[in-house]
Structure 1
Amino acid sequence: MTTFPMGPALLFCPADRPERFAKAADRADAVILDLEDAVAPEDKEKARENLAASALDPERTIVRLNPVTSTSFRADLEALAVTEYRYVMAAKAEDPSAISHSLRHYRVIALLETALGVVRAADIAQAKNVEALMWGAEDLLASLGGQSSRQSDGSYRSVAVAARSAVLLAAGAYGKGAIDSIYGNIADTAGLETEARDGAASGFAAKACIHPGQVAAVRAAFAPSEDEKAYARDLLAAAKGQGGVFSFRGEMIDGPLLRQAEQTLRRAGILG
């Protein structure tokens, strides 16, 4: 897992709802002020005014911009320029050169939510100002002409699983953080926590939330249990002085398993 400095639970907040900004920032590890999908076209200018007037912690605030190719992008940048925010989310990212040029002054979370964006994930991850990759399931399926990213039981369709894996692998290959897509069923906190646990175990550094009620489940999923922490501590202690492969509690231990134990303690905030 490559770390992401803001913590595991990122909460979207529509930029046309300024009364929610501070509450969202208080409840989550970071807030994503959304100028894109969450705001109707007729409300975008007011949303930009709200953004320009806001004063959240720049180290815990991300601004989701409209796509670089959209007619709204330039106005978004003008509103952003008068703020201290330097983390941006590039919606429907597809072109690494556009990210490197148009957003060169910002730290970018590239949101890959089209077929072309996912196919180019490795190229986008190599852009110097890209801090992390995130994938978006529903926009991706729409770009493919599909109807839904999930089966009736809530599990992802195979194409969504493939996209999720491709984005995670591209981020890991180039040392960038990976952020897991949202979980749309707000009432199903158990399903959210299961999915978030899988994301944490697979190497995602964070997961996006669409409701404050999802934050606790995501935090719980990314926080190792007491048993997991104790096992990792004991394993790393037992590894001291060992050379190569050794046995620990009936299991053969080698380098990858030690690195996994270190990741567990990093997630717990015990290792730097």
Structure 2
Amino acid sequence: MIVRPRRSVLYVPANNARAVAKCRTVDADAVVLDLEDSVAPAEKPAARRAAVEALREGGFGHREVVVRVNALDTPWGRDDLMAAAAARPAALLLPKVQRPGDVMFAAQDLSRAEVPETVRLWAMVETPAAVLGVADVARTAADPASRLDALVIGTNDLAKDLRVRVGPGRETLLVWLGACVAAARCHGLDVIDGVFNGLDDPDGLAAEAAQGRDYGMDGKTCIHPNQVAACNAAFAPSAGEVAAARRIVEAFDRTDAASVNVMRIDGRMVERLHADAARRVLAVAEAAAARDGGRAAAAL
């Protein structure tokens, strides 16, 4: 089982040269060079050029580099898409996706421009229409031409448009977060949680990252480098989880267990389906350890 860690996804304004340089040294699994929300309208052409230059310069190491373009129905969107794609990022993040066509139109533009299929698409779910139609958007992944790899939840925009108040625990958003996870799991996509706005609240960040993990998210978006470590920790299995997973896998992999679907392990009744889940825990832990250069090896 091959797993690509996306525990921490750090947004960086593409026109902030200092921030772009800094993100090359931060232990984020992915970096999003942003051309959208963090860039003022007058700065968008310059930010596009800066993103292309940063991609061509490289130096991001293990980090998956993604460019968030402006929506394709804006004056900048299509120029963003084509310029960034030509510089070969790992993926392009499409904002304000509301329907399957938003993904497929972008994918068709890339195909017509003969952009390699290694350049993938991520879709932001950040409007009421998006969460109501998230299953249809995710279903486009069944078509290889869609290039769709991940859903990214834009909780700030979503809360604004829903007119809900979001407090600790995010009770007012949970039904929508769950819908996004279910859609992603149905169609083999990763799903990345929204940002935590408190820059000086490490306990709140840790709690919200743990909540996203428990809800089935694969990682969390970050708005500051100081948030990365907490997200990496939350979305990597603990040493105890790895040990328990290994015991389950070893028990079901024994030759004499080939015809057994249920057994008692560590005082619990464990089914073969739990062995499948345990194998994924081990794959995630191994991928995290490899990404962290051995720092997570203690969990293995």
TM-score, normalization: structure 1? Answer: 0.90
> Residue by residue, what CA displacement relative to the aligned partner does 1:130-153 show, whole Å, maximum 9, x if unpaired?
101111111012222x154x12xx
Indicate the SS of the match to 2:25. helix
Deviations 1:115-173 (A, max 9, x none): 011111111112232101111111012222x154x12xx22132x11111111110000
Alignment of 1:1-272 (within 5 A): 5-27=4-26, 28-54=28-54, 55-56=57-58, 57=60, 60-104=64-108, 105=110, 106-127=119-140, 128-144=146-162, 146=163, 148=165, 150-151=166-167, 154-158=168-172, 160-239=173-252, 240=254, 241-242=256-257, 243-269=260-286
**Inter-partner Cα distance in structure 1 for 2:65 and 2:287:** 25
Q: Distance in 1 between matches of 2:20 and 2:103?
A: 26
Assess, with a 3 A threshold, how the Cα gap between structure 1 residues 259 and 194 changes in structure 2: closer, same or farther.
farther
Greater shift in the superposed pair: 128-137 or 171-180: 128-137
Q: Structure 1 stretches of 5 or more lacking a match?
A: none
What secondary structure is seen at the aligned counterpart in 2 of 1:26?
coil
Which deviates the most, 164-173 or 227-236?
Answer: 227-236
CA contact (8 A) 1:66 1:90 kept: yes
Tell me: CA distance 1:234–1:194, structure 2 relative to 1, closer, same or farther (3 Å): same
How many residues end up aligned between the 2 structures? 266
Cα distance, 1:79 vs structure 2: 2.8
Deviation at 1:194, TM superposition (A): 2.3
2:178–2:215 Cα contact (<8 Å) kept = no
CA distance in 2, matches of 1:183, 1:235: 35
Q: RMSD across aligned C-alpha pairs, in angstroms? A: 2.3
**Cα distance in 2, alignment partners of residues 270 and 82 from structure 1:** 29
Equivalent-residue separation in structure 2 for 1:101 and 1:8 (angstroms): 28
Where does structure 1 differ by over 3 angstroms across 4 or more consecutive aligned residues?
none
Q: Distance in 1 between matches of 2:3 and 2:68?
A: 17
Gaps of 5+ in 2: 111-118, 141-145, 291-300
Q: Partner amino acid for 1:157?
A: E
TM-score normalised per structure 2:
0.82
Change (3 A) 1:203 1:116: same
- CA distance change for structure 1 residues 147 and 40 in 2, over 3 Å: closer, same or farther? farther
